[in-house]
Copies of this chain bind each other. A is one copy, B any other.
Amino acid sequence: MKARAGIVGFRGYSGAELVRILSGHPQAQPVLLEHRSDVEHRAQPIDSKAVSALPCTAEAVRNHRLAVVFLATPADVSMELAPALLATGTKVIDLSGAYRLRTQENYSRWYKEDHKSADLLAEAVYGLPEFYRAAIPQARLISNPGCYPTAANLAIKPLLERGLVDRAHGIVCDAKSGVSGAGRKPTLKTHFCEAAENVTAYSILNHRHVPEVLLTSGLEEAEFSFTAQLIPIDRGILETIYFRAVQGTTADRILDAYRSRYAGEPFVRLYKHGQIPDLKPVQRTNFCDIGFRFDPATGRAVVVAVIDNLVKGAAGQAVQNMNLALGYEETAGLL
């Protein structure tokens, strides 16, 4: 008997990816939860399995005994839905930014709006398993990390922990993302003729994902410069990260910092010094691949981290969190 996993926002890109992953999961099955939505259906083959959705109510969650509900919704919808859903006893995994920060003040600063259920901020667990695995099983509310911070923290934190980064010089993270990261709601920015043959940098130095990197990595805002850029691909994020290493750093020590930290990690893969991953090996997977190049003469280092923004950057990591929360094999449905 498979566990039932509700999905709110199943017509969006992250939600549809959740449906896809959970449809192949050995221990869980997707249950669609209909909330208000402005995105259109697609034509369906005749006799295709009826896409019948339940109403997204506390009653439906109780009656159908949903073990977990995924919120693939905008932050304001998540803030509204989470409290009522949690009251049913289900676990909630929120893919929006609603519960990623720790305080109401910090939320207001970066999201430019008041929080509607701020009492949950302290309770929510930040679902980056590689760093917070222990806290996830007992969490009622798991806040799934943003796509950019997932790659950034996986690439930066082992080096900071090992003290290899000259923090006074600061760290630069230049991120390129597929257009699916901007959501399925049509806007001029996501119009094919505006996005194709183009690169669009946005939210420079004040992107909402920055505070997530600071909280996890321990960096100060002044030490971290981040730019997000939309490029004409559907899915994938490549982040190019620049820093100055401390005296005595070598390529081997950098690689060793990663290998020690990620030994046994199922979803982080490392490349030899000088080998740089591109997006192809991670698309449609839950992997984060990391490569780097270090110049011993000057101490300059460049790390490249790649993920699929809809998988390790959203739905895949959410299922990884579900696996931990419900006591399944962490990789179930993901390899």
Residues of B contacting A271 in the complex (Cβ-Cβ under 8 angstroms): 43-46
Chain A interface SS verdict (over half): loop
Q: How far apart sit A300 and B222, CA to CA, in the bound complex (Å)?
A: 7
Closest-by-CB residue of B relative to A274 is: B204
Determine if B188 and A234 form an interchain contact, defined as CB atoms under 8 angstroms apart: no
Residues of B contacting A297 in the complex (Cβ-Cβ under 8 angstroms): 222
Closest-by-CB residue of B relative to A287 is: B45
Could you say which of B46, B229, B283 contacts A238, with CB atoms under 8 Å apart? B229
Task: Answer whether residue A293 sits at the interface, using C-beta atoms and an 8 A cutoff.
Answer: yes
Interface residues of A, Cβ cutoff 8 Å to B: 13, 39-40, 42-48, 169-170, 172, 174, 176, 178-180, 184, 186-188, 190-202, 204-206, 221-222, 225, 227, 229, 231-236, 238, 240, 242, 244, 259, 269-272, 275-281, 283-284, 289, 291, 293, 295, 297-300, 302, 304, 306
- 11 extra interface residue pairs, beta carbon distance < 8 Å, beyond A202-B276, A225-B242: A43-B291, A46-B271, A186-B187, A191-B192, A192-B195, A192-B196, A192-B232, A197-B233, A199-B233, A231-B233, A232-B232
